[in-house]
């Protein structure tokens, strides 16, 4: 099963992505714990794409593709930005960065997903979640 949505880079469009996550998790009978991980990581990824990748340019889009099979939910999030250098994203768990408001989304995506790849210089991410 696959669902795909293309949204303009407006923060209020995150709710459209939430609905798609809800639908696919319900249709694939995803348990509450995995559902929570999928929802939070997806929202963080879309938020990063809107704010950092596309810089709130409403003329630019974010494409979210969610695929569900028996064992894996695969989520791809792609924006029209130039990407980023992941090595320069601050670690929000380090004492010097506790009050920084950068790095938390990447940290959450890395820790909530079972696998994650940063593609196209980080303008596209692919997260995998084991459901069984």
pLDDT tens column, 99-123: 666 667 888 999 999 999 999 999 9
In which band, very low, low, confident or very high, does the pLDDT at 98 lie, cut at 50, 70 and 90? low
Does residue 11 surpass a pLDDT of 90? yes
pLDDT tens digits, 31-62 = 999 999 999 999 999 999 999 999 999 999 99
Say what the pTM is. Answer: 0.92
Q: How far is CA 87 from CA 2, 20, 103, in A?
A: 32, 31, 11
Q: 83's torsion region: left (phi>0), alpha (psi -120 to 50) or beta?
A: left
Under 8 Å between Cβ of 50 and 66: no
- 8 A C-beta contact, residue 77 and residue 44: no
Q: Which residue has the tokens 């348990």?
A: 31
The dihedrals phi and psi of 55, each to the nearest 5 degrees, come to 50, 40
Statement: residue 132 has pLDDT above 90: no
Ordered structural domains, the chain, with CATH = 2-130 (3.30.565.10)
Task: Report the pLDDT value the prediction gives residue 80, as an integer from 0 to 100.
Answer: 98
Computed over every residue of the chain, the mean pLDDT equals: 92
Task: Identify the three-state secondary structure at position 129.
Answer: strand
pLDDT of residue 105: 80
87 close to 74: Cβ distance less than 8 angstroms = no
Pair of tokens at residue 108: 């959450």
Position 29 scores a pLDDT of 93
């Amino acid at each position: 099963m696959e669902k795909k949505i293309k949204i303009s880079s407006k923060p209020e469009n995150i709710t459209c992505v939430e609905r798609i996550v809800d639908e696919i998790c319900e249709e694939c009978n995803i348990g509450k714990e995995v559902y929570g991980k999928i929802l939070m990581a997806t929202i963080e990824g879309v938020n990063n794409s809107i704010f950092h990748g596309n810089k709130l340019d409403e003329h630019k889009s974010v494409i979210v593709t969610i695929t569900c099979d028996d064992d894996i939910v695969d989520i791809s999030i792609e924006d029209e930005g130039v990407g980023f250098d992941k090595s320069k994203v601050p670690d929000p768990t380090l004492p010097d960065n506790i009050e920084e408001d950068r790095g938390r989304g990447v940290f959450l995506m890395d820790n909530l997903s079972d696998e994650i790849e940063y593609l196209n210089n980080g303008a596209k991410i692919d997260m995998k979640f084991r459901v069984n």
